[in-house]
Amino acid sequence: MKACFAAALFLLTALAHAQEIRRDLPYVDNGHARHKLDVYTPGGEGKRPVVFWIHGGGWQAGDKSSVQDKPRLFTERGCVFVSTNYRLLPEVDMETLVGDVAKALGWVHRHIAEFGGDPQKILVGGHSAGAQLAALLCTDPHWLQAEGVALNALIGCLPVDGDTYDIPAIIETAETRRRVHGLPQPKFGHREKFMHSPDKHRAFSAVSHLATGKGIPPFLILHVADHPDTSAQAVRLEQGLQQAGVAVRRFGARRTDHVKLNDDLGLPGDEATREVQAFLDRLQL
């Protein structure tokens, strides 16, 4: 009986916070089929903070529709939620892929006021590959500067269970693990995805761009507590942000995995969701 009442209450709450969804908006004129994004807006008036979400999928798969309960989580807080697609490896290289995501965020900065969003209050988040992309855009300003967006338009970063904030470290870790166990190296692993070059590996790593006085926004780094690679990378990013004087909190979620951590964001009782809510409180959203 209690479970039925809770489910009914949850449904009524969801209905009370109905979203308006605009799908497949092009962010590049006459662009690729994946140059599209979706905008979820809450009811009411006013300039609202914006959450810009980047899907995961190893930079080779994934779709902007894979947002689970996140639109409700953020629109209930009065935010406009945007989920974007981008071209994928190996059709394009990593520089082009990152450029696509920057173009999408540039479009949001120019047009989100038309949907009630505030272009000077954008939180950037993403899961897995999207976590690497979110962290990079929030630490290396040249990607967004190319689209006319300054770092001071970003109010927060929410990377979820990424393993590539320090790409040289994860390459060495993964390749050593395979070598000592006598396993063949992958034909298209991180070394190849990030364009073979050690200079490129460093350039695509968020930790390479951490410095004081850059205007890097506050971070909430979510990761699976017992996953060795994403935990190590989360600690690495946290330590670098702390050294740069950037506000950061790291949270390792228990009793979950790489997919479930992302899928459960927004669900009642989820501990990572509580961390997100507290992060939004700190940002005064």
Instruction: Give pLDDT tens digits for 52-73.
Output: 999 999 999 999 999 999 999 9
Query: pLDDT tier at 3 (50, 70, 90 boundaries)?
Result: very low
Q: What is the pLDDT of residues 222-262, one digit of tens each?
A: 999 999 999 999 999 999 999 999 999 999 999 999 999 99
Say which DSSP state 60 is in.
T
Q: How far is CA 222 from the centre of its chain?
A: 10
Relative to beta strand 80-84, strand 36-41 is: antiparallel
Portion of the chain with pLDDT greater than 90, in percent: 92
What pLDDT is attached to residue 21? 97
Q: For the chain, give the mean pLDDT.
A: 94
- pLDDT over threshold 60, residue 10: no
Query: pLDDT tier at 11 (50, 70, 90 boundaries)?
Result: very low
**pTM higher than 0.75:** yes
Q: Is the torsion defined by CA of 17, 22, 27, 32 positive or negative? A: positive
What pLDDT is attached to residue 17? 54
Q: Taking CA 20 as the corner, what is the angle to CA 17 and CA 75, rounded to the nearest 5 degrees? A: 45
What does the domain layout of the chain look like in residue ranges? 21-282
CB 22 within 8 A of CB 39: yes
C-alpha span between 131 and 145 (Å, rounded)? 20
- pLDDT over threshold 60, residue 279: yes
Cα separations (Å) of 268 from 102, 107, 123, 277?
Answer: 32, 32, 22, 11
What pLDDT is attached to residue 220? 99
Portion of the chain with pLDDT greater than 70, in percent: 94
What pLDDT is attached to residue 46? 81
What pLDDT is attached to residue 18? 65
Query: pLDDT tier at 43 (50, 70, 90 boundaries)?
Result: confident
> Which value, in Å, is the radius of gyration of the alpha carbons in the chain?
19
Structure tokens at 117: 């969003």
Query: pLDDT tier at 45 (50, 70, 90 boundaries)?
Result: confident
Q: What is the pLDDT of residues 180-194, one digit of tens each?
A: 999 999 999 999 999
Domain at 21-282: CATH architecture: 3-Layer(aba) Sandwich (3.40)
Query: pLDDT tier at 6 (50, 70, 90 boundaries)?
Result: very low
Q: What is the pLDDT of residues 118-163, one digit of tens each?
A: 999 999 999 999 999 999 999 999 999 999 999 999 999 999 999 9
Q: How far is CA 181 from the centre of its chain?
A: 33
Q: Where are the beta strands (DSSP E) in 183-247?
A: 219-224
Could you please report the per-residue DSSP string of 244-280?
TT--EEEEEESS--HHHHHHTTT-TT-HHHHHHHHHH
What pLDDT is attached to residue 19? 79
- pLDDT over threshold 70, residue 14: no
What pLDDT is attached to residue 44? 79
- pLDDT over threshold 60, residue 171: yes
| Partner residues linked to 221 by β-bridges | 250
Per-residue burial over 44-75, b if 16 or more Cβ lie within 10 Å, else e, is: eeeebbbbbbbbbeebeebebebbebbbbbbb
Higher pLDDT, 103 or 10: 103
Contact partners, residue 260, CB within 8 Å, separation at least 6: none
Q: How far is CA 195 from the centre of its chain?
A: 22
